[in-house]
């Protein structure tokens, strides 16, 4: 009997087939979970294990960034401090008058109520990002064990951050407002014109606004009542309005109120 | 009659494979995945982040063979999928494929010269993105903002190529040549 393959060839072939099977099994588990819209046990295990280390790495990174920032800013701090104290006195006076104005505007008052009277909100820290930056998603350090639920809204002190799209035991994933797949019902505060706020990866676009709405730059955009958010949470300000010829709707580019490049502590709203 | 090979005690194999220990690679992979998901977004260049995981997989593929590249690629990709958004198995499959291709290229003229390795890294970045797009599309997920993703892909290809050049130049241990880089 003539042997076609050598021992080495056979071992190599066996190793290749084995590796392909292992890789295919991993891929199928991921695909199966993706199709069912759930997180696979593989994802859960990896995300949980890596989450702890992400927390540590993020803390270290934040500390280092703050330290470097403080050192660089030190010469300007004394000068800035005096200017800020004067400005603070002026702002305190302005704040008092604005509080009066807030009480007369239901949407803005709702923002204040949501931020101040949200005892069931879950405070979480941002610990990670999409590794390849393909989607605008961040990882926070609270999961279902802390009470985070899918589709819960996430805000910070400036306004809407996004909504929960993945929940693991100790971590969760937040789809940012700027992601192209993010869609949030929105209202232009001045005229109560409705639209859908969707991401452009860097900003937010207000779509499907009626052509008779008189949008203009500077208009404040807030959330409409929806599954993830209560009405009145700030989304951003209109910076540009587009009136496509012959289109049924107009579109506006919105500058978000939240600084997505420097996300720190966020509040997960009860769902 | 048999064609089974017999190893000679005096004739070493032409190509000396010197794969690093698996536990060392596992530790490095873990550290790189953490860095990729925490530090890399802070050094993004026009929306493109450095592909640290991809560089590790390519390096390991070149240092081992098809099986090594494929396996590490699949594991590294699975880690990225776990930390990314709704990518399904996109990174798992795409990283495994480029890892296997790197393993297939191990010991060839490509691994012997920076002139080939650096463009190879850029090409691998693009191939990986292409496979990722195909897989995610096959999973039924829409490819949103394709122009922006293409833009980021090209920037990441450039970014990775520059990183690979810097590593090969300033960190000799990252070399994948068996006779010394030219």
Question: For residue B180, is pLDDT > 70?
Answer: no
Single pTM value for the model: 0.70
Q: Give the A:B interface size as CB pairs under 8 Å.
A: 163
By the 8 A CB rule, do A80 and A88 touch? no
Tell me the pLDDT band of B31, cut-offs 50, 70 and 90.
very high
Domains of chain B plus CATH, in order, are 22-173 (1.10.1760)
CA A35/CA A158 separation, integer angstroms: 35
Specify burial of residue B47 (Cβ count, 10 A radius: 0-12, 13-18, 19+).
middle
pLDDT digits (tens, 9 = 90+) for B6-18: 555 555 544 555 7
Question: Is pLDDT larger for residue A213 or for residue A110?
Answer: A213
| H or E element at residue B174 | none
Query: Up-side HSE of residue A156: CA atoms within 13 Å toward CB?
Result: 21
Tell me the average pLDDT across A149-165. 90
Query: Are B48 and A133 in contact (CB < 8 Å)?
Result: yes
Cβ neighbours of B49 in A, within 8 Å: 131-133
Phi, psi (degrees; rounded to nearest 5) at A90:
-65, -40
Query: Are A57 and B35 in contact (CB < 8 Å)?
Result: yes
* Strand bridging mode A249-256 / A153-156: unpaired
pLDDT digits (tens, 9 = 90+) for A19-57: 888 888 888 888 888 777 777 888 888 888 888 888 888
pLDDT digits (tens, 9 = 90+) for A251-266: 999 999 998 887 878 8
Question: For residue A5, is pLDDT > 90?
Answer: no
Cβ neighbours of A48 in B, within 8 Å: none
Query: Are A57 and B34 in contact (CB < 8 Å)?
Result: yes
Domains of chain A plus CATH, in order, are 61-104 (no CATH), 120-271 (2.40.10.350)
Query: What integer pLDDT is reported at residue A95 of this predicted model?
Result: 86
Instruction: Report the residue from A19, A43, A133 with minimal CB separation from B70.
Output: A19
Cβ neighbours of A43 in B, within 8 Å: 81-82
**CA of residue A201 relative to chain centroid, distance:** 11
Specify burial of residue A54 (Cβ count, 10 A radius: 0-12, 13-18, 19+).
buried
Tell me the average pLDDT across B33-40. 89
CA B115/CA A22 separation, integer angstroms: 34
Which ipTM was obtained for this model?
0.75
pLDDT digits (tens, 9 = 90+) for A115-130: 565 777 888 888 988 8
Tell me the pLDDT band of B94, cut-offs 50, 70 and 90.
very high
pLDDT digits (tens, 9 = 90+) for A91-107: 988 888 777 666 555 54
When the pLDDT of each residue in chain A is averaged and rounded to a whole number, the result is 84
Tell me the average pLDDT across B40-69. 89
Query: What integer pLDDT is reported at residue A206 of this predicted model?
Result: 92
Question: For residue A161, is pLDDT > 70?
Answer: yes
Question: Is pLDDT larger for residue B124 or for residue A74?
Answer: B124
Instruction: Report the residue from A27, A35, A181 with minimal CB separation from B92.
Output: A27
CA A71/CA B179 separation, integer angstroms: 47
Tell me the average pLDDT across A138-149. 90
CA A182/CA A201 separation, integer angstroms: 10
Give the distance from residue A191's alpha carbon to the nearest chain B alpha carbon, in angstroms.
Answer: 30
Residue of B56, B78, B83 to mutate when probing chain A, most A C-beta within 10 A:
B83
**Residue of chain A minimizing CA distance to B72:** A23
* Strand bridging mode A153-156 / A137-140: unpaired
């Amino acid at each position: 009997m003539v042997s076609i393959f050598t021992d080495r060839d056979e071992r190599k072939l066996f190793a290749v087939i084995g590796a392909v099977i292992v890789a295919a099994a991993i891929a199928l588990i991921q695909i199966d979970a993706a199709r069912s819209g759930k997180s696979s046990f593989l994802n859960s295990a990896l995300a949980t294990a890596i989450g702890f280390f992400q927390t540590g790495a993020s803390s270290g990174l934040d500390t280092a960034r703050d330290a470097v920032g403080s050192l660089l800013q030190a010469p300007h701090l004394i000068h800035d401090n005096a200017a800020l104290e004067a400005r603070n006195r002026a702002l305190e006076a302005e704040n008092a008058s604005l509080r009066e104005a807030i009480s007369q505007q239901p949407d803005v008052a709702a923002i204040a109520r949501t931020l101040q009277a949200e005892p069931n909100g879950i405070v979480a820290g941002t610990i990670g990002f999409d590794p390849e930056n393909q989607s605008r998603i961040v990882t926070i350090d609270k999961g279902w064990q802390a009470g985070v639920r899918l589709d819960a809204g996430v805000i910070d002190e400036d306004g809407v951050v996004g909504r929960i799209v993945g929940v693991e035991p100790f971590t969760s994933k937040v789809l940012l407002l700027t992601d192209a797949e993010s869609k949030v019902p929105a209202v232009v505060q001045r005229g109560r014109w409705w639209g859908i706020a969707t991401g452009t990866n860097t900003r937010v676009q207000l779509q499907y606004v009626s052509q008779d709405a008189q949008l203009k730059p500077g208009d404040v955009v807030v959330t409409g009542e929806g599954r993830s958010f209560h009405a009145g949470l700030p989304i951003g300000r209109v910076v540009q309005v587009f009136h496509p010829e012959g289109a049924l709707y107009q579109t506006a580019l919105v500058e978000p109120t939240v600084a997505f490049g420097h996300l720190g502590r966020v509040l997960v709203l009860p769902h | 009659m048999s064609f089974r090979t017999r190893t000679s005690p005096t004739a070493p194999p032409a190509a000396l494979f010197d794969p690093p220990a698996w536990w060392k690679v596992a530790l490095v992979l873990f550290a790189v995945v953490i860095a990729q998901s925490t530090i890399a977004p802070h050094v993004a260049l026009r929306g493109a982040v450095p592909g640290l995981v991809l560089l590790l997989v390519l390096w390991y593929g070149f240092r081992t063979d098809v099986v090594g590249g494929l396996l590490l690629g699949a594991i590294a990709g699975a880690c990225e999928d776990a930390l990314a958004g709704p990518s399904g198995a996109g990174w798992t499959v795409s990283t495994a494929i480029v890892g296997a291709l790197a393993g297939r290229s191990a010991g060839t003229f490509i691994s012997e010269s920076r002139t080939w390795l650096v463009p190879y890294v850029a090409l691998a970045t693009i191939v990986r993105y292409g496979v990722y797009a195909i897989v995610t599309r096959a999973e039924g997920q829409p490819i949103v903002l394709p122009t922006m993703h293409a833009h980021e892909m090209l920037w990441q290809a450039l970014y990775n190529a520059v990183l690979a050049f810097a590593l090969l130049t300033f960190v000799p241990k990252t070399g994948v040549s068996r006779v010394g880089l030219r």
